A and B are shown apart, each in its own frame.
Chain A
Amino acid sequence: MAGVASGNDFQWCFSQVKGAIDEDVAEADIISTVEFNYSGELLATGDKGGRVVIFQHEQESKNRPHLRGEYNVYSTFQSHEPEFDYLKSLEIEEKINKIRWLQQQNAAHFLLSTNDKTIKLWKISERDKRAEGYNLKDEDGRLRDPFRITSLRVPVLMPMDLMVEASPRRIFANAHTYHINSISVNSDHETYLSADDLRINLWHLEITDRSFNIVDIKPANMEELTEVITAAECHPHQCNVFVYSSSKGTIRLCDMRAGALCDRHSKFFEEPEDPSSRSFFSEIISSISDVKFSHSGRYMMTRDYLSVKVWDLNMENRPVETYQVHEYLRSKLCSLYENDCIFDKFECCWNGSDSAIMTGSYNNFFRMFDRNTRRDITLEASRESSKPRATLKPRKVSTGGKRKKDEISVDSLDFNKKILHTAWHPKDNVIAVAATNNLYIFQDKIN
């Protein structure tokens, strides 16, 4: 399975778009994270307004056999509210930074959501029965005369319309001085880690009043600060291994078996810098915005401003694969610095079989790379192509002097339309792409 190519295998086609069509986008509606659960049956998004929306995959209907089934809203809830830290005079935004699903443990589903400071564990459960019958009031809710009770009634459960409830189960607060950038559930199913700019904490999912600090890179004197933690993730199978990336473009792998504190890494991944391309922006663009282990646990992928790199965990001195996401922006770094775009944090994701990867770009473009064929493709999430089953046409940005037909010039790219968050279904070729306040779902075309 390739999943990327536009030719032989299959084509990506539009499936659904969620969110308002208005040109005016409310800040609160901007999607800030997208995540499939382990089975791919549920898809969660978080937004800047602190809301979490969960979509459920509906089984394909017999009437429309050409469709794989759509994702429809299953539950919406307010996960975080804006707060104010009175001790530090700081506003705490409600924006959801990350969502992570837990392995399913019973009929209910659980997820962790976090803003800058507080992580919450949510339970999403269904209820389809309701108790009926009271002793002291009748069916209409009128009170009965308490002195006329001749017999006791035990309530009976009656079927009712399915109701989905989201309830907060645990609140993990007060452990982060800086902004939380990552949460990651460990493969032991009982712990997870949370990372901020300078520290990584390890939590037990059932214990909210304490966490263990496993990494602390805060220098005694903050003026000596040279790098920050940008992302962290637990290994998918080895419960003792986690990695964290830094603003200097390096990744450290730590083994929790070695010691209670993981200040000393066991592996250090760094690609030597090419002195010829060194510039004022080198350090900024080498900062890693996301790190993700492959499902197999053999590789990890990192995203920096201009490229995606795949590392073999057994080789620390350079990545095994490097993919250029939007190399044509190298000449534009100066203006991207001025409009702050250079600090955008693009995420990246693997497909279910680790054979392809996806990451976002500007102008509502997103990129896919096939690791076997080395083919790549640029697609666009746009309202124009959002007709049912419309095939996505590959996009091209002209890099040379002369613009060919169907190509877009670098200067006409819209830098306000950026795709930072994407997710790939864990088994199927279904992807979810967040474009500002819209969530696009694309899938492969079944011929």
Chain B
Amino acid sequence: MAGADGDDSLYPIAVLIDELRNEDVQLRLNSIKKLSTIALALGVERTRTELLPFLTDTIYDEDEVLLALAEQLGNFTMLVGGPEYVHCLLPPLESLATVEETVVRDKAVESLRKISQEHSPVDLEVHFEPLVKRLASGDWFTSRTSACGLFSVCYPRVSSTVKAEIRQHFRTLCSDDTPMVRRAAASKLGEFAKVLELDYVKSDIISLFTALASDEQDSVRLLAVEACVSIATLLPQEDLETLVMPTLRQAAEDKSWRVRYMVADKFSELQKAVGPEITKNDLVPAFQNLLKDCEAEVRAAAANKVKEFCENLPEDNREQIIMTHILPCVKELVSDTNQHVKSALASVIMGLSTILGKDNTIEHLLPLFLAQLKDECPEVRLNIISNLDCVNEVIGIRQLSQSLLPAIVELAEDAKWRVRLAIIEYMPLLAGQLGVEFFDEKLNTLCMAWLIDHVYAIREAATCNLMKLVEKFGADWAQNTIVPKVLGMANDPNYLHRMTTLFCINALSDVCGRDITTKQMLPVVLKMSEDQVANVRFNVAKSLQKIGPVLEKITLQNQVKPVLDKLATDKDMDVKYFAHEALSVLELTYPAHD
């Protein structure tokens, strides 16, 4: 509503506009994020003629502000007057596409790609395509790298003469002097190939692909591997052998380990793209070589792909290929010198059992699992244990339990607390698979021992673990096996252990239910309110607050309230604070005026 001498609805907008230039980055950022509000208030005309020209030259700002600006402009079409005027957004985005910060540039390109769709075919040729050309022939490589991401969005919607120009520009950038630009072109090669007519894919893209794949810089060559996947998907099967395979073979044997690593890393995608026949003839031997590569990084990347590669082999002779070609290499990797390789393998090797079936698993895989369970590196053992479920389905876990137990015990007592933490997290899973008897017999002691670990994170994880176990095995089991032990710790001379009792009760009261909580846990908690250590006392208050909802009203009134009232007058400040908090959360305080 406009007043006599001013419009007070303008004030907040005025503040936003002024804060676009505030010294505080956070305020500038806030303003930029509300750019649409500013534009809405200014109207489409002033947004186009005043706001956008100002923003075009704001590229001096901090990266986070520029990033937000680049993102905003991608959604600005309606605010400048709709698709008819969308080209007004090009100048600010063009200047953002030349900044040195990759994230900002990428966001500007993303927004440009978005608004390109809102250009009419005519506007695309009159406004957008010239911008792409300007960027592609810019002096600095930042603008040329940005151009690489824009060809594919305008290509399908322009006339054939302009198409020819675009193809020419892309070709030029593929042989740019700076490796930065060649890398950008190589990474967009697959995307560009997808929008090209098949004939041009064969005539243009293949030669560019071959050239990039034999670039002098390995950082360029490795990106061609990625493009290989998209190009192979586009071509008919009969052309793959002559147009793609020579390059792929060359990449798999490249002098540079980084290129071979990339091949290993993209192996499943490549496998799908080239189809079963080529996989059988070419990729199987290539994969064998990668598994035996002299560089550990490459072996690790290939080892990671073992399961996926085997899964995707043609079913008719999958088992034979695995048994004769892949398994021998896998066997060698089990005793690799590098622990990353072994642990990569350990994270997928169990998956082979479903593919190979029960007999093969017992005969060939089981010895490997057992060897890895005894590996000197804890990560390898952990990876095996974390994937036990796959084996369980095929042969049952009992086959492994003989070796499993020592492995678990050793990890449970590992000197590194992070290793202990990791194994605790697998306990509920193991418990489920091994069954309650085995657990009681072998693992229960471990779980209780973690409760008195000297690292807090372990004690905390151990309490959480107990809760999950009770969820699995039920309240009766809890009452007989763990509750007595947990409550026994309430008399421990170490106050940290006494507190663990409280933490366990917090975690267990819900899953154990009202009966156990009221009859067994509550008396212990109430008794601990007389503990001489303040930390224990205020944790009693916190515990009572936690378990309160499980208890009956009458129990709360008759047993909990008196104790909390007493703690509320404790000499320690924290105890008082938490007692008051518990009283009010449990609604045990009487309103003063009542």
Contact = CB atoms under 8 A, between A and B. Distances in A.
- The answer to whether A binds B is yes
Interface of A: 103-108, 110, 123, 125, 127, 129, 131, 134-137, 145-157, 165, 169, 187-190, 206, 237-240, 256-260
A260 B143 contact: no
B13 A104 contact: no
A257 B10 contact: no
Interface in B290-315: 294-297
A188 B20 contact: no
A260 B295 contact: yes
Given A127-B60, A155-B17, A190-B180, A260 B297 contact: yes
B69 to A, nearest CB: 14
B492 interface: no
A156 B17 CA distance: 12
B54 A136 contact: no
Given A135-B18, A156-B54, A189-B141, 16 more contacts: A105-B140, A105-B180, A106-B98, A106-B140, A106-B142, A135-B14, A152-B13, A154-B46, A154-B51, A154-B54, A190-B219, A206-B102, A237-B216, A239-B219, A257-B257, A260-B297
B475 interface: no
Contacts of A238: 216
B107 to A, nearest CB: 15
27 contacts: A103-B178, A105-B140, A108-B100, A127-B60, A134-B18, A135-B14, A135-B17, A136-B14, A136-B15, A146-B14, A147-B3, A147-B5, A147-B11, A149-B10, A152-B13, A154-B46, A154-B54, A157-B53, A187-B217, A190-B180, A237-B216, A239-B219, A257-B254, A259-B257, A259-B294, A259-B295, A260-B297
A445 to B, nearest CB: 34
A149 B100 contact: no
A329 B15 CA distance: 72
B255 interface: yes
Contacts of B13: 152
Contact of B42 (A131, A148, A154, A239): A154
Interface string B131-142: 000000000111
B410 interface: no
A105 B142 contact: yes
B179 A239 contact: yes
Contacts of A106: 98-100, 140, 142-143
Please provide the 9 A-B residue pairs with the shortest distance between their CB atoms, ordered closest to farther: A135-B14, A257-B256, A154-B50, A106-B140, A148-B6, A106-B142, A188-B219, A149-B10, A260-B297
B552 interface: no
A262 B140 CA distance: 33
Interface of B: 3, 5-8, 10-11, 13-15, 17-18, 20-21, 41-42, 46, 50-51, 53-54, 57, 60, 98-100, 102, 140-143, 178-180, 183, 216-219, 254-258, 294-297
Nearest to B138: A106
A150 B7 contact: yes
Contacts of B294: 259
Nearest to B49: A154
A188 B54 contact: no
Given A149-B10, A190-B180, A239 B17 contact: no
Contacts, number: 118
Given A149-B11, A157-B57, A240 B50 contact: no
B60 A125 contact: yes
Contact of A155 (B11, B21, B99): B21
Contact of A131 (B7, B21, B99, B183): B21
B60 A149 contact: no
B218 A257 contact: yes
Nearest to B15: A136
A238 B220 CA distance: 12
B143 A149 contact: no
Contacts of B46: 152, 154
A152 B297 contact: no
Contacts of B256: 240, 256-257
B140 A239 contact: no
Contacts of A188: 179, 217, 219
Contacts of A149: 6-8, 10-11, 14
Given A106-B140, A190-B180, A152 B100 contact: no
A105 B177 CA distance: 12
A392 B199 CA distance: 67
B257 A152 contact: no
A430 to B, nearest CB: 24
A257 B15 CA distance: 56
Contacts of B141: 105, 189
Contacts of A169: 100
A188 B3 CA distance: 63
A107 B42 contact: no
A152 B50 CA distance: 11
B321 to A, nearest CB: 30
A165 B294 CA distance: 48
B262 to A, nearest CB: 13
A11 to B, nearest CB: 36
Contacts of A103: 178
Given A127-B60, A135-B18, A154-B54, A110 B100 contact: yes
A189 B142 contact: no
A121 to B, nearest CB: 10
A193 to B, nearest CB: 14
Nearest to A260: B297
B179 A187 contact: yes
A155 B5 contact: no
